[in-house]
């Protein structure tokens, strides 16, 4: 969502902080946008590299 605040363009999104189920709205400026997008790409890449199943019971794991 794009918001004009004091003449500046702000890019806002809804996110849940770690440890809470309550979403909050966070906004970043146009100057912060490239860094934010780069961070999101890095997070997505690290999620793709993680195994789909990490421990616990399931196919291919030890009996529970």
Tell me, yes or no, whether 25 lies in a domain: yes
Tell me, yes or no, whether 51 lies in a domain: no
**From CA 46, how far away is CA 50, in angstroms rounded?**
6
Domain count, the chain: 1
pLDDT at 6: 82
Structural domain containing residue 35: 2-42
β-partners of residue 27 are 12
Tell me, yes or no, whether 27 lies in a domain: yes
Tell me, yes or no, whether 11 lies in a domain: yes
Phi, psi of 48 (to 5 degrees): -65, -30
How would residue 14 be classed by pLDDT, with cut points 50, 70 and 90?
A: very high
| CA 4 to each of CA 29, 30, 52: distance values in angstroms, whole numbers, following the listed order | 10, 11, 40
Tell me, yes or no, whether 62 lies in a domain: no
Tell me, yes or no, whether 17 lies in a domain: yes
Of 52 and 12, more confident: 12
């Amino acid at each position: 969502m794009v918001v004009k605040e004091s003449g500046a363009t702000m890019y806002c999104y809804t996110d849940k902080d770690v440890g809470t189920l309550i979403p909050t709205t966070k906004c970043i400026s146009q100057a912060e946008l490239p860094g934010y997008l780069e961070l999101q790409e890095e997070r997505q890449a690290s999620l793709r590299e993680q195994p789909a199943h990490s421990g616990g019971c399931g196919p291919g794991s030890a009996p529970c």
